[in-house]
Amino acid sequence: MADRHDRDRSIEHLVRRTPFPARAAESACVDAEQLAAWSGGGLGPNEAELVETHLSDCDRCQAVLAAFAESAPATPAVAPFWQRWTMRWLVPATAAAIGVVGWTLTRGVPDVPDPATMARVEPAGERPAVPLPTASADAPAAARQTASPADTVDRPSAAAAPTAATGDRQDAPTSVAPPPRAEAAAAESLSPAPAIQAQSGERSFALPAAPPPLPAASAGVARPAPAPAPPAAAAASRLAEAGRTAESRDLSAKVPQEQAGSDPRATRLLRPGAAGQNNVMMDSITVLGVLTHARLGSQAAVVFGPPSSATSAADGRAATSPPAAAAGTAVIWRISSNGRVERWGVEGTMWTGMALPGAALVTAGSAPSSLVCWLVTRDGRVLRSVNALDFQQTAFAVPVALDAVQAVDADRATVTSTDGRTFVTTDGGATWQ
């Protein structure tokens, strides 16, 4: 190995001091417009290849290219996927979400707080300071009772629960007359009528005179105290809390008790092929699993497939090995870093390279069903397969680099170019708009 490295260094040493051999360029020199269009991906595939070949051979054009590159404003060419603004938050979010799932699975008992418990652990000092006009005489006593230290100690999970109630409670000013919405929601779960009053804007907030009967575990006596939430779970909870809007806070408080602690966003992230996936999430597909559409960024490879494929692919192995559920009849597609397309599932045993018309660097794909797959290439071609075997080039003829495709079925698809334009077909690629 060391010998190879030494030889590689020798080659580099030799290349550095050797006048670069230039072949006699067979075509005319690249003009300014060709150079400008080539650098921006505005040439058709054939012309771009000609320009590239000439640039590799012509000493003068290489010098022009160097000066042209030097004159460009200093902006990064292609940011790696983890540095794109849409991705900056996704990496820690994904790690946190995976941590939450892993911790929940290994722990066995889902730590789902219920609104009633959240109301019970609320410290008395954070209640509205002023007397509430419509509160019943028993309400303050009930509140003080539910805020006893014993309850707080018995249910530490509630304090770390990813709910709107906890966060709002810690941040809420104590002298504000209107109750926090989470309290209203909690009260709604106990007694719908007062909550409706609170949400309607009236300054009336009343806890029920007596809390409804709780299970023994909720009462904090029979159930052993659960372990504190791990940092990853707490981070995920905070993240989920931060990402939730005020509107969704209201909605989340109204969901059934068994769903109140789950983060629907995190669930979507980890559900392969789920509806609602879009290109914002595509670059993380190697981590998250198999999605319907995929776009090749800076990753080693991306995997995509129809929604019915690989229901358990969110194990982080998607880039290197096929999902376990992909074996059999499901069809999964993979675009490797060099733009090669491979298919898993028909043969059922290995990734099979697909023969595409022409030499194409595939940049994105979309598989709306098991038989249909759309691909787009860097040289501006759109390929379609309706049998998961053969790809045909569609009539798309705009000389522009393409980097995204979203297909609905065999006839309808939308492709996006690197300069942000979108082109739509509704007839299988025969015409584009």
Partner 1 sequence: MHERAQASRWGLSVAEFSVALEASVAHAFPGRAPAANEIDAYLASIHLADLAVACACAGGHDAAWDHFIREHRPGLYRAADAIDRTGGARELADSLYGDLFGLRERDGERRSLFRYFHGRSSLGVWVRAVLSQRHVDRIRATRRLEPLPDEDTAIGGAAPTVAPPPGSGGFAAAMQAALTAALIALAPRDRLRLACYYARDMKLAAIGRMLSEHEATVSRHLARTRRDLRAAVEQWLAEHQGYDAAAIAECFAAVADDSGAMDLGTMMAAAEAGKKSVADRS
Report the alpha-carbon distance of residue 163 to residue 165 in Å, rounded: 5
Number of other CB atoms surrounding residue 299 within 10 Å: 22
* CA angle centred on 111, ends 272 and 316, rounded to 5°: 25
Rounded to a whole number of angstroms, the minimum distance from the CB of residue 426 to partner 1 is 16
3-state secondary structure labels for all residues of 19-72:
CCCCCCCCCCCCCHHHHHHHHCCCCCHHHHHHHHHHHHHCHHHHHHHHHHHHHC
Q: 67 or 150: whose CB is closer to partner 1? A: 67
**From candidates 27, 28, 46, 63, binder to partner 1 by CB under 8 A:** 63
Cα 127 to Cα 131: distance, rounded to the nearest angstrom: 10
Q: Counting contacts by CB under 8 A, is residue 85 touching partner 1?
A: no
Work out which of 15, 105, 216, 222 binds partner 1, going by CB under 8 A. Answer: 15
Site for partner 1 in 257-316 (CB under 8 A): 298
Decide whether 68 or 103 has the Cβ nearer to partner 1: 68
> Interface with partner 1 includes 413 (CB under 8 A)?
no
Reduced to 3 states (helix: H, G, I; strand: E, B; else coil), residue 339 is coil
Min dist CB 405 to partner 1, Å, is 17
User: From the list 28, 66, 177, 225, which residue makes contact with partner 1 (rule: CB under 8 A)?
Assistant: 66
Q: Please list the residues that pair with 377 across neighbouring strands.
A: 362
Residue 397 engages partner 1 in binding (rule: CB under 8 A): yes
Vertex 161: Cα angle to 140 and 278 (nearest 5): 135
In whole angstroms, the minimum distance from the beta carbon of 420 to partner 1 comes to 13
Which residue in 52, 202, 409, 427 binds partner 1 (CB under 8 A)?
52
Interactions with partner 1, residue window 19-48 (CB under 8 A) = 19-24, 31-37, 39-43
* Binding mask of the shown chain, residues 322 to 361, with x at each position contacting partner 1 by CB under 8 A: ----------------------------------------
Rounded Cα gap, residues 190 and 179, in angstroms = 15
Alpha carbons 36 and 57: distance in angstroms, whole number: 18
Q: Output 71 or 106, the one with its CB closest to partner 1.
A: 71
With respect to partner 1, which residue has the nearer C-beta, 4 or 355? 4
**Both structure tokens of 267:** 């669930």
* Smallest distance, partner 1 to C-beta of residue 8, A: 5
**Binding residues for partner 1 restricted to 164-183, rule: CB under 8 A:** none
Q: Which residue has the tokens 């690249």?
A: 30
Please give the DSSP secondary-structure letter assigned to residue 307.
T
* Residue 199 buriedness (CB in 10 A; 0-12 / 13-18 / 19+): middle
Binding to partner 1 in span 362-391, by CB under 8 A: 378
Rule CB under 8 A: which of 221-240 touch partner 1?
A: none
